[in-house]
Amino acid sequence: MENNIIVKELLKDYEKKHQKALTDLENRKQALYSKCPELLEIENRLHTLGISTAKFILGNNNSTHLTNLKNEIEKLKIERANLLKKLNIDENYLKPTYECNICNDTGYTYRELSNCYVFLFKTKTIRY
Ligand SMILES: [Zn+2]
């Protein structure tokens, strides 16, 4: 197989792996939220506050208001952590599970091809 075809296939595999990790996470979240709607509420509020914070930083520099926003976000994160603890769920449950934690299944680290990618590429191109 030609090298550039291998490159394309590998990157497609990475894309699939990365997407699968995100889909799995979404499914886990939905299952969790239907069990504990309070968590969904917190998640939605965090999302809204995140947007407000971003807009605020761009818009002006009233630091008191920004501190309030950040405090609110911290409070919600603690609330979420407590809820998860009560449900006996690890916080990693709400993070994507990648096969490779270095490149998060993208094949890249800091804009360079990741080690796992280079390894996979070699296993496909070295002939014995
Ligand atoms: Zn990797």
CA distance 112 to 117: 10
> Per-residue pLDDT for the chain (128 aa), expressed as one digit of tens each?
688 899 899 999 999 999 999 999 999 999 999 999 999 999 999 999 999 888 888 877 678 888 999 999 999 999 999 999 999 999 888 899 999 999 999 999 988 889 999 999 998 888 76
Give distance in angstroms: CA of 92 to centre of ligand 1.
19
Beta bridge partner(s), residue 61: none
Give distance in angstroms: CA of 6 to centre of ligand 1.
16
Question: How many CA atoms does the CB half-sphere of 95 hold within 13 Å?
Answer: 8
CA distance 26 to 35: 14
Give distance in angstroms: CA of 120 to centre of ligand 1.
10
Domain residue extents for the chain: 1-34+96-128, 37-86
Residue 111 host element (H or E): none
Give distance in angstroms: CA of 89 to centre of ligand 1.
27
Indicate the pTM of the whole model.
0.74
